């Protein structure tokens, strides 16, 4: 009998996406399904959800004097069943899962996600009128953190797994919110949901889940330290025997240079020279001089300090004196957006900026770039360094989290044993980043070595296949 898994998440691509959590929630359950697991996805029915599949009404569940409908559909293009928690008074508004149309955080986030968690618990306990009982409930990030906590109070409950995608986001709310949510009083303690006098959603997962995972081996170690633990390092160290790092996979169908419909010229390891045609298309599209001798550096990111955008801005004046072009796609803090736009308008022959997010353009940038910049201060896993390697684009990363686990620095010995796939720097300083950019330029001027780096990266298997098997192993232990 295949294991039954309820996968609880606040976003899943292609239904709705604000970041990497959506990519993982869209592809890990699919990979588990391929391994014969009976997996169901549960997600709020936001107004912004895009589905191409039929939607059916299944049931109505009442929790805390609120009625929510459970609707059933499939993840577009797959056989994966999705249950949408439909409650228009909470989710029926324009915007994304976390902010409204104006970009302001929802004032009732705690109410929205506590309702979502409560419905997930009803489904997990087979009280959702769906005639289906999971063996394991797999929760993701703070938005589903109350699920393991609430399930801990149930008799004959399923086992629980909680995955930390980014510990910086914790779902912290004032104590008054705790009172208004009408949650079971025995969950309020320093061992439970209370954190420095506040209500912490993420602690529901960290304190109560049977097993905790995070998205790389290095990040699993980092979050047990004060530098990365955000005050939760003590709890995570205490639970270290239940904590595992499993690197994220990528959707190998969606990110595949051989078949990618978004790029101008498809290619693979044997037709690598065709990558240049994507580079030319990229330069034309961004009104940059078409020149194959000049490397194109690309960055796709949320423009926040975590991602090291401040380091890039400090490097830009010197980068502009070097033979390179720089293209950026992202949005975030207004001050970063303004500084970048100023550089782009002053140096239109060197820099092109697109503020926002565009999935097709992200694919074109990965296909056409020579170098991908990812100077994150911390990075639980990161996906773009994996996409880059698949597309023969050489990443420059800081040695942290999943970046440390997935990019091998270019050194004499790693060139010798053909493991080098990129450039890695240690210090989160602009000096350290600049030095690495110059190192990459030197190697770029040696085409044979550069091709070796591209080929090494393209040969790596970052599909969900391996990671899904690791999750299967974890589920088996439970």
Chain segment 418-473, per-residue pLDDT in tens = 999 999 999 999 999 999 999 999 999 999 999 999 999 999 999 998 899 999 99
Contact 373, 442 (CB under 8 A): no
Q: Which residues contact 24 (CB under 8 A, 6 or more apart)?
A: 140, 165, 215, 248
CA dihedral 285, 286, 289, 290 (to 10 degrees): -30
Q: 185 is written with which tokens? A: 């009083």
Alpha-carbon gap, residue 248 to 234, rounded angstroms: 25
State yes or no: pLDDT of 332 exceeds 80: yes
Q: Which residue has the higher pLDDT, 150 or 18?
A: 150
**What's the predicted TM-score (pTM) here?**
0.90
Domain 4-249+464-477, CATH class in plain words: alpha beta
Residue for token pair 């419905």: 119
Return phi, psi of residue 255, to 5°. Answer: -110, 80
Q: Which pLDDT tens digit goes with each residue over 183-210? A: 999 999 999 999 999 999 999 999 999 9
**Which pLDDT does position 20 carry in this prediction?**
84
Query: Taking residues 332-342, what's their average pLDDT?
Result: 95
Q: Which residues contact 227 (CB under 8 A, 6 or more apart)?
A: none
State yes or no: pLDDT of 1 exceeds 60: no
pLDDT exceeding 90 applies to what percent of the chain? 93
Q: What is the DSSP string of 393-434?
A: -EEEEESSHHHHHH--B--HHHHHTT---BEEE-SSSHHHHH
Q: Which residues partner with 56 through β-bridges?
A: 72
Architecture of the structural domain at 269-458: 3-Layer(aba) Sandwich (3.40)
Q: At what angle do helices 309-319 and 334-346 cross, to 10 degrees?
A: 10
Alpha-carbon gap, residue 363 to 255, rounded angstroms: 8
Contact 206, 142 (CB under 8 A): no
Largest CA distance in the chain: 68
Contact 186, 158 (CB under 8 A): no
Q: Among 231, 239, 225, which Cα is nearest to 400's?
A: 225
Q: 475 is written with which tokens? A: 């589920």
State yes or no: pLDDT of 2 exceeds 70: no
**Which pLDDT does position 167 carry in this prediction?**
94
Q: Among 360, 364, 371, which Cα is nearest to 277's?
A: 364
Alpha-carbon gap, residue 75 to 476, rounded angstroms: 25
**Which class for 107: exposed (0-12), middle (13-18), buried (19 or more C-beta within 10 A)?**
exposed
**Which pLDDT does position 101 carry in this prediction?**
87
Residue ranges of domains in the chain: 4-249+464-477, 269-458
Q: 299 is written with which tokens? A: 């960055």
**Which pLDDT does position 188 carry in this prediction?**
97
Q: Which pLDDT tens digit goes with each residue over 392-410? A: 999 999 999 999 999 999 9
Phi-psi region of 156 (alpha: psi -120 to 50; beta: other; left: phi over 0): left
SS3 172: strand
Greatest mean pLDDT range, 89-103, 243-257, 264-278: 264-278
Q: Which pLDDT tens digit goes with each residue over 138-184? A: 999 999 999 999 999 999 999 999 999 999 999 999 999 999 999 99
Q: Which residue has the higher pLDDT, 20 or 5?
A: 5
In the chain, how many H helices and how many E strands?
Answer: 19, 18
């Amino acid at each position: 009998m295949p294991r039954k898994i309820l996968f609880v998440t606040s976003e899943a691509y292609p239904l709705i996406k604000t970041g990497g959590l959506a990519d993982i929630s869209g592809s890990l359950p699919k990979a588990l399904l391929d391994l014969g697991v009976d997996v169901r996805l549960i997600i709020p029915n936001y107004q912004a959800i895009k589905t191409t599949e039929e939607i059916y009404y299944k049931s109505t569940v009442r929790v805390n004097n609120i009625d929510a409908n459970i609707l059933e559909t499939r993840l577009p293009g797959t056989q994966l069943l999705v249950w949408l928690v439909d409650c228009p008074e909470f989710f029926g508004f324009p915007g994304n899962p976390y902010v409204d149309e104006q970009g302001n955080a929802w004032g009732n986030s705690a109410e929205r996600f506590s309702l979502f968690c409560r419905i997930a618990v009803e489904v997990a306990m087979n009280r959702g009128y769906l005639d289906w009982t999971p063996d394991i409930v797999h929760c993701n990030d703070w938005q589903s953190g109350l699920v393991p906590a609430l399930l801990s109070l149930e008799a004959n409950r399923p086992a629980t797994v909680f995955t930390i995608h980014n510990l910086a986001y914790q779902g912290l709310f004032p104590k008054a919110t705790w009172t208004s949510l009408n949650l079971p009083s025995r969950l309020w303690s320093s061992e439970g949901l209370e954190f420095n006098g506040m209500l912490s959603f993420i602690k529901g997962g960290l304190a109560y889940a049977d097993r905790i995972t995070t998205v790389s081996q290095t990040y699993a170690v980092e979050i047990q330290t004060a530098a990365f633990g955000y005050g939760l390092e003590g709890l995570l160290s205490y639970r270290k025997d239940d904590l595992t790092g499993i690197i994220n996979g990528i959707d190998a169908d969606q990110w595949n240079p051989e078949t990618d419909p978004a790029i101008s010229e498809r290619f693979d390891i044997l037709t690598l020279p065709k990558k240049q045609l994507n580079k030319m298309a990229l330069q034309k599209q961004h009104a940059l001089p078409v020149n194959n001798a000049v490397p194109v550096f690309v960055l796709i990111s949320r423009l926040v300090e975590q991602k090291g955008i401040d380091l890039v801005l400090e490097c830009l004046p010197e980068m502009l004196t070097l033979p390179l072009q720089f293209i950026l796609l992202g949005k975030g803090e207004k001050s970063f957006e303004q500084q970048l736009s100023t550089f782009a308008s002053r140096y239109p022959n060197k820099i092109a900026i697109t503020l926002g997010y565009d999935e097709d353009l992200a694919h074109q940038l990965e296909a056409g770039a020579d170098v991908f910049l990812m100077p994150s201060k911390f990075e639980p896993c990161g996906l773009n360094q994996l996409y880059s390697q698949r597309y023969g684009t050489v990443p420059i990363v800081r040695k942290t989290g999943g970046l440390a686990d997935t990019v091998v620095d270019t050194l004499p010995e790693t060139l010798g044993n053909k493991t080098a796939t990129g450039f890695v720097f240690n210090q989160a300083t602009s000096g350290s980043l600049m030095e690495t950019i110059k190192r990459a330029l030197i190697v770029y001027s040696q085409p044979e070595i550069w091709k070796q780096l591209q080929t090494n990266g393209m040969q790596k298997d970052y599909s969900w296949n391996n990671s899904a098997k690791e999750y299967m192993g974890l589920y088996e232990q439970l």
